[in-house]
Every structure is written in structure tokens, then in C-alpha cells.
Structure 1
């Protein structure tokens, strides 16, 4: 019985679409056909299968989910969203260290929604990917967490902060040490700007970087081998922006703000 019910739920795309439609509310057969763009015979076959399992009921000319099915379908959506995020960029997720993401946020990875892998052109491999840099310059604020050092970042973020874009960057101790040793004047300039905020995380950061603004979210992970390649998963979904904000706040809570006196 259990395997039959699971098959009923997952083995047909039409059934899945029908269940997701009915979670929004009861529909008559004409509304179902129009919304799903199907024929009567095709959809009635699926309806009968779902009704035989007690998943759909028919009352007063309307089809609707049973009480239990409503519970089931609400739990289906996050799974389907997670599968979609994974399938769209399967190679990236398979080959990178997902354990670097805090566990409570990894469980919400479906919030990335529609995302894409971005990387710089071959002639600017050590610079920010152009799409990411262009999006940064269109943002009202920038919040980043980074455990690796890129020579491209200090200049870009000083430039953004000078233009009145609120830039907050959390780095690890090794990155901060390098900023002090190799970019001391630039680091001092940044923290003394009205819109420049630098923090050092007091605990280990295992992801390469995370950038969230009011426009986009970008996440860059190390390969499972520990190697870093300058590319990231980028999303413009509202849910992804919220996810990125929560990730930033996770590290901000365990970070110390840097002032001119610390450099």
C-alpha cells in the first residue's frame, strides 16, 4: 500500500502538477484543463487514480485535496524545489563542499530558486565575474563573507563605499592578516569610510565566499578536494536574498568589527 501511494504521488508529472494546482484551492474540470493545458480524457485518468487513493475528493462539481493530501502536498513543495535547484546546476553541487554551509541553511537550499553558475571570462580569470561586478554596482548595499583573498576585492569595495553603497565585509583571520600586510593603506581607507565596514570572524569559515545585496545572492564554495575556482552560484530570487541575509547574520554574530586602531 505504501509503495503504491508513493508511486501515485511521484510517478506522473501530470499528477504532480494537478496536486500543486489544487493546493491553491478547489477547481472544476474546466479550470483544471485550462490551467494545465490538458484534455479531459488525459486529466480524468489522473484524477481517478488520485481519488482511488483518497488524495482528491469531488464535491459540488469541484475537485479538491483531501485533508491528509493537503498536508502531504505542502511537504512536497520544498522537496520539489530542492530537486530543481540541484538539477539546474548538478555539476556544481556534486563537486563542491556543501558541508561548508551551516546545517540549518543547507536544509533551506531550495530557497535559491532559479540560479545559475557564473565565472569570469578567460582574459580576467582573477577578477570578479562581470555579471557579479555589474550587479554589485547596481546595488544599494553589499554584505559579504569571505575566507579567501582576491586582489580584485579591495579596490572594488573601496570604490563602492565611496559612492555611498553600504559595504560590510566579514573575513577570516588569515585574510585580515594579508590585508594588513599587503593592503594596509587601502584597508585603513576602507574602514574609515562612512559606508565601509570590516569584520573578522572569530571562528572557521569553510565556504569560499557569500555575497548578498538588495539585487542578488552569490555563493562560492571550494571543491571537495579543497581547490578554489573563481566561480559562484548566483540567484536573483527574493527567497535567495533572504537566505543570503541569514547566512551573513550567522557569521556576523561571531565576528568582531575592525576599526582604524586595529590595523
Structure 2
């Protein structure tokens, strides 16, 4: 019975779509047919299977989820969303250190939604990906957590600050020391601008970079080998932006703020 129920839920796209549709509320047969673009014969076969499993009930000429059906579908949706996220960019998730993400956020990774893999053109391999840079320039604020030195720190970010865009950076001690020792004028500009908040994380940052703005989330992970390649996964969905805000808040809680008095 257990294997049969799992097959019912995951082997049929029609049954999955029907269950997710009924999660929105009860529907009569005509509403179901219109929503799923199916004929009566095809959908009734799926309805009867789900009714035999106790997941759907029929009353007052409408079909709806049973009490247990509602519980199962509620838990099924995050799993389906996670599987979709994985399948859309399977090679990326397979080959990168996904365990670098904080555990509580890794458990919510389905919130990233639809992602796109973005990397620089071949003639700009050491620059920021063009799509990433273009959207940074359109953002109202930028919050970043990073364990590597980004080329944006000594170029693009300075221009954005001059345009009045608020930037908050959480860096590792190593990256901060490089900024302090090799880019003193840039650091002085940032701290004196009134638009930059700079923090040093007191614990290890395992991911390469996480950037969240009012427009998008960009997430960069190291390869399983430890190598970093100049690329990012971008999502423009509101759930991904909220996820990114939580990522930034997590590291902010374990970071100390840098001020001009520290020099």
C-alpha cells in the first residue's frame, strides 16, 4: 500500500496537478477540466484513483482534498519545488558545496524557485557576469556576504555608492585585511560615504558569495573540489529575495561592525 500511494503521488503529472489544484479549494468537474485542460474521461480516471486512496472526497457536486489529503499535499509541495529546483540546474547542485549553506536555510532551499545560471562572457572571464552587474546597478540597496575578494569592491560598488545606493558587506577577516592593506583609499571612501556598512564575520563563511537586493538573489558556491569559478545562480522571485535576506541576517548576527575608529 505504501508503494502504491507513493506511485499515486509522484508518477503521474496529472494526479500531482489535480492535487495541487484542489489545494486552492473545492472544484466541480468543469472547473477542473478548464484549469487542467483535460477531457472528462482522462481526469475522471485520475480522480477515481485518488478517491480510492482517500486523498480526494466528493460532496455537493464538488471535489476536494480529504483531511489527510490536505496534510499530504501541504508537505508534498516543498518536495516537488525542491525537485524542480534540482532538476533545472542539476549539474550545478551536484558539483558545488551546497552544504556550505546554513542548515536552516538549506532546509528551505525550495524557496529559491526558478534560478538561472549566469557567468561572464569568455572575453570577460575575470569580470562580473553582465546580467548580474546590470541588475546591481538597478537595485536600491545591496547586501552581500562574501568569503572571496570581488572585483566589484574597487570598481562597481564605488560607482553605486556615488549614486546613493546603500551597500552592506559582510566579509571574512582575510578579505577585510586585503581591502585594508591593498585598497586603503577605497576603504576610506566606503567608511566615509555614509552609504556603506562594513562587517567582519567572526565565524567561517563557507559559501563564496550571497548577494540580495530589492530585485534579486545571487548565490555563488565553491566547487566540491574547493575551486571557485566566477559565476552565480540568480533568482528574481520574492521568496528567493526573502530567503536571501534571512541569509544576510544570519551572518550579520555573528559579525562585528567596522568603523573609521578601527584604524
TM-score (norm 2): 0.98
Does the 8 Å CA contact 1:115/1:234 hold for their aligned counterparts? Answer: yes
Matched with 1:26 is 26
Which whole-Å CA distance do the structure 2 matches of 1:186 and 1:233 have between them?
Answer: 28
Does the 8 Å CA contact 1:29/1:63 hold for their aligned counterparts? Answer: yes
Matched with 1:136 is 136
Matched with 1:69 is 69
Say what the alpha-carbon RMSD is for the aligned residues: 0.9
Does the 8 Å CA contact 1:126/1:152 hold for their aligned counterparts? Answer: no
Shift of 1:111: 0.5
Which whole-Å CA distance do the structure 2 matches of 1:151 and 1:234 have between them?
Answer: 18
Which whole-Å CA distance do the structure 1 matches of 2:116 and 2:88 have between them?
Answer: 8
Shift of 1:154: 2.3
Shift of 1:151: 3.1
Q: Which stretches of structure 1, 4 residues or more, deviate above 3 A after TM superposition?
A: none
1:175 is paired with a residue whose SS is: helix
Matched with 1:176 is 176
Shift of 1:153: 2.5
Shift of 1:261: 2.6
1:145 equivalent to 2:133? Answer no
Which whole-Å CA distance do the structure 2 matches of 1:153 and 1:95 have between them?
Answer: 27
Which whole-Å CA distance do the structure 2 matches of 1:40 and 1:135 have between them?
Answer: 46
Matched with 2:107 is 107
Listed as ranges, the gaps of 5+ residues in structure 2 are: none
Report Cα offsets for 1:215-244 as digits up to 9, x if no partner: 000000000000000001100000000000
Matched with 2:185 is 185
2:155 is paired with a residue whose SS is: helix
Matched with 2:83 is 83
Shift of 1:70: 0.5
Matched with 1:259 is 259
Shift of 1:161: 1.3
How many aligned residue pairs are there? 263
Which whole-Å CA distance do the structure 2 matches of 1:80 and 1:150 have between them?
Answer: 34
Does the 8 Å CA contact 1:142/1:211 hold for their aligned counterparts? Answer: yes
Report Cα offsets for 1:39-73 as digits up to 9, x if no partner: 11100000111111111111111011111100000
Map 1:180-219 onto structure 2 (within 5 A): 180-219=180-219
Matched with 1:247 is 247
Matched with 2:50 is 50
Which whole-Å CA distance do the structure 1 matches of 2:162 and 2:255 have between them?
Answer: 24
Does the 8 Å CA contact 1:116/1:235 hold for their aligned counterparts? Answer: yes
Which whole-Å CA distance do the structure 2 matches of 1:65 and 1:32 have between them?
Answer: 13
Does the 8 Å CA contact 2:211/2:217 hold for their aligned counterparts? Answer: yes
